[in-house]
Every structure is written in C-alpha cells, then in structure tokens.
C-alpha cells in the first residue's frame, strides 16, 4: 500500500507541472466536460451512492452523518451548478499582484501561481469530491482525494467522470487522484509525502482534523470546530431575529456553519425568548439554557460549562442571556471556534463594534451564519473553510488555492 500511495502522489506531482501551464481555455473546456459527464451519468452516481447509504444505515451512523452522505437529484444538480459557476470565475493563475519601481530601477512585483499538489482528506460528503477537484483544476493544482470509507462507492463514481472530462479535454487524468485504500494507515502514508504534496486540507470532524494536523509533515489548512453564535442585541428587530436564529440552527444543523449558541441581550430577553423557544420546540430542538434563561422559560435543561464549548451538529442549542454587547463579544471570542458569528441589530455603532471586535473568519450583521460557504460568497464552490490566520481564512476558493512568486524586471542592475 505504501508504494502504491507514493506512486499516486508521484503521478499527481507530474500532472501538476502540466496543469500549471494549462491555459484558461483548456481548463474551462475540461470543466464543461466534467459537468456534462456528471449530468449525463447521474443515475449511475445515485445508484452507487445508495450502496453507501445502505451500508451507513447498517453500521448505525448518526442521522447527521447519513444526511451528509446522501446524494439526490438536487445535490447532484448543485454539484453541476458549482462547476459551471467556477467556469465563469476569472482564472487567478498568472495574475500580477502589484508592481513597485525601486530606486535602482528594478521593477518588483508578484505573480499568482498554483500551490502544486493538494491533498484533501474528508468524511462523508461526496460533493466534496467534485468541489475539491474542480477548484484545484481551475487554480492549476493537481489533487489527491482521500474520502471516508462510508462514501467509497459515491467517490469512485464521481472521480470516474471527472477524470473522463480531463481526458476528453486533452489534459492528463492523473491530475485528479483518488486514494483507493480504506485503511487508516493510508492517510498516515499520505501525510508523510512532503516531497510530492504541498498542502493538506482536512474536512470533517474535530477528531479527524486534529489527527491529520498531528501526523502531517505537510502544511495543513484546518478548522477544528464550527461553534457559531447569533447574538440578538437590544436594538434588534425581533421578528428578524427569530427568523435568523431559527434558520441558523434548524435549516441544516449537521454542518459547521450552523448556530450552536444563541446569545440574547437581557433587555429584550423577556419579549424575544418565549416565542423563539416555542418555535424551536416545534422543530424538536433540545435547548440548554443559563440560569437566567431557565428562570424566564420553564422546562429548559441546564447549560453546563462544556456546552458553551460544544459543537453539537444536531438539533441541540445552548442559550445564554448577556448584560451587553461586551459580554456577548467576550463569550464568542472565549468559547467560540472563530468560524462564523452574527449580530442582529438595527444600531449602527453596535454592528460596527461587533464586526471589529469578534475574532472570527466570517462576521455577520443581520444575516444567518448558514451563508458561510464558498458558493454563497460567489466563489462557485469551496475546498474548505479555514479558521487559521496564515495564508487563508474563511471559505477557500480558487484564489486561496494559489500562492505567489516574486517577479523582477531589470536593465542590467547588479548589487553593490
């Protein structure tokens, strides 16, 4: 297995040199063919996905994990739509990022270039297979995919038709590689191949991401948790606050940009919380509240210290009443994961304070945290969300999959 994985990485490295000099036209042609292939062969992809879903049910996976695994007509159409949106995005490769004339006459600038070979290690979601491959192709990178064992058949089918699109466009199909081994050792071998792989992006639960970061000899882009907050300010439109809070928690609770903690200013809590909690009850949300919340609304479970640190990824919500915006911001920065946090307010100064002081990758005013997504941010698709502060932060699209090199124009200058 070790030799086979190294062979896969070597092929990806060789393919990366070809992709790095591919024109925008040829890359977009490959993307169009890839989208067409997924569209035409959706029945086969759905059939293979059903094998994975049935196996997951037999193994007793949680509802949230099964939901991430399922493909349907809507989700395949979403994959195809994402590819077509990436086609329309400007190609970042070769872009000149500023030029500066030095006193000695040298013209110094930066040019965007592909990172090279990117390894993606992920769980459950088969749509990641398409999104990752597409974004890497557009940004001139080869990709090595290692999906979870629970999505094995789905990933094989998707990669088959993505590689077919590359070949039909005249590009090497070796630019998209899928690790075929399901053993955990396969990931360990992959993480040691720093001679061939330039960057690792893990997507999945905290356990996976921490294991990857600890084992890897390759730089890792990561986010450990998605502990997202909505803070309902004293100046909030309460109708808007109810809709935003409900959407942030209930629309799709098993994803990293779903709300896990609701913070409410003490002045509006008596008016806001009773109807809000009733609406959550109708959606079968289990609520855990601070002492003030439990005094205000009876029948709420007690929120313990560990709840404020917990990413539930389920219909469970922590609720806390705070004295002011300063307490809300402190709570978010201390207990949060620096992913996505929102304020609901009609007060300009409060919104500016929240935007400036909350230390998160995405900070919202009067909108649901559920929008933290590459597609929603106009990136076409995303390869992951980073809560790191070096290289990339937030949803990572094609621009975040490039780095730069310095380019220098001279007229015979020598250093003295």
**CA 397 – CA 240 distance, rounded (Å):** 30
So where are the chain's domains? 2-221+396-409, 228-371
Strand partners, 316: 286
154 Cβ partners below 8 Å, 6+ apart?
Answer: 45, 48, 49, 52, 69, 71, 126, 129, 147
pLDDT confidence of residue 168: 98
For β-strands 394-395 and 385-386, DSSP reports them as: antiparallel
Q: Say yes or no: do domains 2-221+396-409 and 228-371 share a fold.
A: no
End-to-end CA distance of the chain: 54
Which of 277, 12, 55 lies closest to 152, judged by CA?
Answer: 55
At 307 the three-state DSSP class reads helix
pLDDT confidence of residue 381: 73
pLDDT confidence of residue 46: 97
Residue 208 vs residues 55, 215, 286, 390: alpha-carbon distances, Å:
21, 11, 26, 21
At residue 322, what are phi and psi to the nearest 5 degrees? -120, 155
Architecture of domain 2-221+396-409: 3-Layer(aba) Sandwich (3.40)
Residue 387 vs residues 127, 188, 286, 364, 369: alpha-carbon distances, Å:
21, 23, 28, 16, 15
Per-residue pLDDT of the chain (416 residues; tens, 9 = 90+): 999 999 999 999 999 999 999 999 999 999 999 999 999 999 999 999 999 999 998 888 877 778 889 999 999 999 999 899 999 999 999 999 989 999 999 999 999 999 999 999 998 789 999 999 999 999 999 999 999 999 999 999 999 999 999 999 999 999 999 999 999 999 999 999 999 999 999 988 788 899 999 999 999 998 888 999 999 999 999 999 999 999 999 999 988 999 999 999 999 999 999 999 999 999 999 999 999 999 999 999 999 999 999 999 999 999 999 999 999 999 999 999 999 999 999 999 999 999 999 999 999 999 999 999 988 998 877 888 899 888 889 999 899 999 999 999 999 999 99
Q: What CATH number has the domain spanning 228-371?
A: 3.40.309.10
**Residue 39, number of CB atoms within 10 A of its CB:** 15
133 Cβ partners below 8 Å, 6+ apart?
Answer: 34, 143, 145, 159, 162, 176
């Amino acid at each position: 297995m070790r030799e086979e994985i190294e062979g896969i990485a070597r092929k990806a490295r060789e393919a990366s040199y070809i992709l790095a000099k591919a024109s925008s036209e040829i890359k977009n042609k490959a993307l169009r063919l890839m989208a067409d292939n997924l569209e035409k062969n959706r029945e086969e992809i759905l059939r293979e996905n059903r094998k994975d879903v049935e196996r997951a049910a037999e193994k007793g996976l949680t509802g949230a994990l099964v939901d991430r695994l399922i493909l349907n007509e809507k989700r395949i159409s979403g994959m195809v739509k994402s590819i077509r949106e990436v086609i329309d995005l400007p190609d970042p490769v070769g872009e000149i990022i500023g030029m500066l004339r030095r006193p000695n006459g040298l013209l110094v600038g930066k040019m965007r270039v592909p990172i090279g070979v990117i390894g993606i290690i992920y769980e459950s979601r088969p749509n990641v297979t398409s999104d990752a491959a597409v974004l890497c192709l557009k940004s001139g990178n080869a990709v090595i995919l290692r999906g979870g064992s629970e999505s094995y058949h789905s990933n094989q089918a998707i990669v088959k038709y993505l590689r077919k699109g590359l070949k039909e466009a005249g590009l090497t199909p070796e630019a998209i590689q899928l690790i075929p081994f399901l053993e955990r050792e396969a990931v360990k071998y992959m993480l040691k191949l720093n001679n061939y792989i330039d960057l690792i992006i893990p997507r999945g639960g905290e356990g996976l991401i921490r294991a990857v970061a600890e084992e890897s000899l390759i730089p890792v882009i990561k986010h450990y948790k998605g502990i997202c907050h909505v803070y309902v300010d004293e100046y909030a439109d309460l109708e808007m606050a109810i809709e935003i809070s409900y959407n942030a928690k209930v629309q799709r609770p098993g994803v990293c940009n779903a709300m896990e903690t609701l913070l409410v200013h003490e002045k509006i809590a008596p008016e806001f919380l009773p109807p809000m909690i009733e609406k959550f009850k109708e959606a079968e949300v289990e609520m855990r509240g601070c002492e003030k919340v439990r005094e205000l609304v009876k029948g709420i479970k007690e929120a313990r210290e560990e709840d404020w640190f917990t990413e539930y990824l389920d219909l469970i919500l922590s609720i806390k009443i705070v004295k002011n915006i300063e307490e809300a911001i402190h709570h978010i920065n201390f207990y949060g994961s620096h992913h996505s946090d929102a304020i609901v307010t009609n007060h300009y100064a409060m919104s500016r304070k929240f935007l400036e002081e909350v230390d998160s990758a995405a900070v919202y005013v009067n909108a649901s945290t559920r929008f933290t997504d590459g597609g929603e941010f106009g990136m076409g698709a995303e390869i992951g969300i980073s809560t790191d502060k070096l290289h990339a932060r937030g949803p990572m699209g094609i621009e975040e999959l490039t780095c730069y090199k310095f380019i220098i124009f001279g007229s015979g200058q020598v250093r003295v």
